[in-house]
């Protein structure tokens, strides 16, 4: 039943406001004329019996398609009509309207009031020991990291030689350039630089995986992003054989992950990289709260990354909980949009932060391990990262070694790389008892809340509770990714 008129988005498409009830919250959203189904690919003809036709192949390897009605229904009408299994052909396994979901960057930018902060402290010998890591390996050009974000500055001098063709799932083209009108335009460029900026080239910064390649996907905007765009982004990672997928974003409103999106993410983790699987990293978020068991970072195929500060302690903003896997230091100094359009009038910024910056630091470390041991599955690499994680000095882990604030510990690329290559230490690395670095004025941080997406539309009095019940609840444990 409809209440009110449809509105038009920036591309002239009709959107109907809806209201979702999830996790005790009421979330205003939109649907368009499409629904998303998962169906046995061998039985696509059964869509005709449900008065549906395929609009786009989103992830055909596991049967995810965008569909529309042959009877002039919109996506919500389709999903409501076919919500009950007995009301739809048996080949249709799942169905959901093409929800347009507000996303937020998981950044926590800050402007220090002290002199300009020089140096990538998070890579130093007290933290990630990257100079020792790079003496062993700088990665492999065959290893690709997909950065799903706001797009990238494809002309940045520290990135231009590192980028392979990407994708724009907002404008449906192959140009992943950032949109200057977006309030977080610099976000993707900052993440890409932390992962793989050109290194030893006489300019700028060093990336965690200097020889790895990067593909940018533009998906974050100032408006809600359709569910089919999410699936297309992960299918791009699947089809390009990405080794790692870095996601420094999340839903702006805490809500269960639609089953279709969960399936797409798990498919990348299980079957990406030619069947060996890819690591899918997500920033834990910056709300200083426990993440629910049915949110994005709790999906089985997701590796959740929290943030620590200079002193190996919890940042004031990072989310936490049973789904947190590992933590990484915030990467404050990184690449920025060239010129005055970014966070800093130079080509670099010291104003990046949040779990948005911890996630690509961890993604670069993961890519180094993937490069060193390409025969390992994604689950094996994740177990290796967990096994070699550096104990967090302020953690109080449970019997299984997991702490809700620090996960299984601090990502340790040096130990992980040595483990992957079978290198035996002659001298022990700095352990958890190493003295923290001295306090300096550079450690002062302030924060701002960065949340995208707004609407002036009044939502309909329609509740989509039944359509989200398939999101599921997952038990988390060290071996959860192989279950």
Structure tokens at 348: 């670099």
The count of other CB atoms within 10 Å of the CB of residue 90 is 11
Token pair 């998070």 is at which residue? 122
| Nearby residues of 35 by Cβ (< 8 Å), 6 or more positions away | 52, 66, 67, 68, 69, 75, 78, 79, 95, 96, 97, 98
Strand, coil or helix: what is 416? helix
Q: Give the least confident one: 189-193, 367-371, 447-451.
A: 447-451
Residue 101 confidence (pLDDT) above 80: yes
Structure tokens at 282: 């997500």
132 confidence band (pLDDT: 50, 70, 90): confident
The values of phi and psi at residue 226, to 5°, are -65, 150
Cα–chain center distance at 90 = 33
The CA-based dihedral angle spanning residues 150, 155, 157, 161, taken in that order and rounded to the nearest 10 degrees = 90
| Nearby residues of 438 by Cβ (< 8 Å), 6 or more positions away | none
Alpha-carbon gap, residue 330 to 121, rounded angstroms: 9
The DSSP 8-state label assigned to residue 390 in this structure reads B
Domain segments of the chain as ranges:
7-101+455-466, 104-443
The count of other CB atoms within 10 Å of the CB of residue 413 is 29
The count of other CB atoms within 10 Å of the CB of residue 447 is 15
Structure tokens at 159: 């990135």
Cα angle 429, 434, 435; round to 5 = 150
Give residue-wise pLDDT tens across range 188-204. Answer: 999 999 999 988 888 88
Q: Strand (E) positions, 190-278? A: 213-218, 225-226, 244-247, 249-251
pLDDT at 303: 98
The class of domain 104-443 in CATH terms is: alpha beta
The count of other CB atoms within 10 Å of the CB of residue 379 is 19
From the list 10, 19, 48, 53, the residue with the least C-alpha distance to 35 is 53
Alpha-carbon gap, residue 134 to 125, rounded angstroms: 12
Beta bridge partners of 463: 19
The values of phi and psi at residue 378, to 5°, are -60, -40
Structure tokens at 331: 């990467």
pLDDT at 19: 82
Alpha-carbon gap, residue 335 to 191, rounded angstroms: 8
The values of phi and psi at residue 383, to 5°, are -60, -35
| Nearby residues of 42 by Cβ (< 8 Å), 6 or more positions away | none
The count of other CB atoms within 10 Å of the CB of residue 204 is 21
Q: Give the least confident one: 165-169, 404-408, 461-465.
A: 461-465
% pLDDT > 70, the chain: 82
% pLDDT > 90, the chain: 52
CA distances to 123, 125, 254 from 120, rounded to whole Å, are: 6, 11, 33
Structure tokens at 22: 């999830």
Q: What mean pLDDT value characterizes the chain?
A: 82
Alpha-carbon gap, residue 112 to 121, rounded angstroms: 15
pLDDT at 6: 64
Cα angle 437, 439, 440; round to 5 = 115
Give residue-wise pLDDT tens across range 22-59. Answer: 777 788 888 898 999 999 999 998 898 889 999 999 99
The count of other CB atoms within 10 Å of the CB of residue 440 is 11
Give residue-wise pLDDT tens across range 204-233. Answer: 889 999 999 999 999 999 999 999 999 999
Residue 3 confidence (pLDDT) above 60: no
């Amino acid at each position: 039943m409809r209440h009110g008129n449809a509105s038009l988005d920036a591309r002239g498409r009709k959107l109907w406001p809806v209201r979702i009830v999830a996790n005790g919250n009421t979330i205003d959203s939109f649907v368009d004329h499409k629904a998303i189904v998962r169906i046995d690919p061998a039985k696509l003809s059964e869509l005709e019996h449900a008065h549906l036709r395929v609009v786009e192949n989103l992830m055909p390897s596991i049967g995810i398609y965008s569909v529309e009605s042959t009877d002039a229904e919109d996506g919500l009408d389709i999903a409501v009509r076919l919500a009950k299994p007995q009301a739809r052909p048996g080949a249709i396994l799942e169905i959901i309207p093409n929800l347009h979901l507000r996303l937020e960057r998981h950044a926590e930018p800050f402007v220090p009031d002290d002199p300009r902060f020089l140096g990538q402290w998070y890579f130093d010998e007290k933290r990630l020991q990257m100079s020792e890591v790079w003496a062993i390996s700088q990665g492999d050009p065959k290893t690709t990291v997909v950065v799903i974000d706001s797009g990238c500055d494809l002309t940045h001098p520290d990135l231009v030689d590192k980028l392979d063709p990407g994708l724009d799932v907002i404008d449906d083209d192959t140009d992943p350039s950032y949109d200057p009108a977006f309030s977080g335009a610099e976000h993707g460029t900052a993440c890409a630089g932390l992962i793989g900026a050109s290194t030893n080239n006489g300019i700028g910064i060093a990336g965690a995986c200097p020889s790895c390649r990067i593909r940018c996907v533009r998906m974050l905007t100032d408006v809600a992003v359709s569910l089919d765009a999410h699936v297309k982004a992960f299918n791009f990672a699947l089809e390009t054989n990405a080794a790692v997928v870095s996601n420094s974003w999340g839903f702006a409103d805490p809500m269960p992950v639609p089953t279709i999106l969960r399936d797409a993410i798990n498919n990348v983790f299980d079957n990406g990289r030619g069947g060996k699987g890819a690591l899918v990293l997500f920033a834990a978020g910056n709300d200083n709260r426990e993440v629910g068991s049915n949110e994005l970072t709790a999906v089985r195929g997701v590796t959740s990354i929290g943030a620590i500060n200079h002193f190996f302690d919890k940042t004031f903003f990072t989310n936490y909980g049973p789904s947190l896997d590992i933590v990484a230091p915030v990467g404050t100094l990184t690449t920025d949009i060239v010129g005055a359009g970014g966070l800093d009038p130079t080509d670099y910024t010291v104003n990046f932060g949040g779990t948005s910056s911890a996630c690509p630091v961890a993604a670069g470390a993961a890519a180094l391990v993937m490069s060193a041991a390409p025969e390992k599955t994604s689950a094996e690499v994740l177990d290796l990262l967990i096994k070699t994680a550096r104990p967090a000095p302020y953690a109080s882990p449970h019997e299984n070694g997991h702490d809700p604030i620090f996960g299984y510990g601090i990502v340790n690329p040096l130990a992980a790389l040595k483990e992957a290559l079978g290198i035996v230490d002659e001298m022990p690395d700095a352990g958890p008892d190493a003295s923290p670095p001295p306090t300096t004025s550079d450690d002062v941080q302030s924060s701002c809340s960065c949340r995208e997406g707004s609407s002036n539309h009044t939502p309909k009095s329609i509740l989509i509770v039944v359509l989200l019940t398939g999101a599921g609840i997952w038990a988390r444990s060290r071996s959860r990714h192989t279950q």
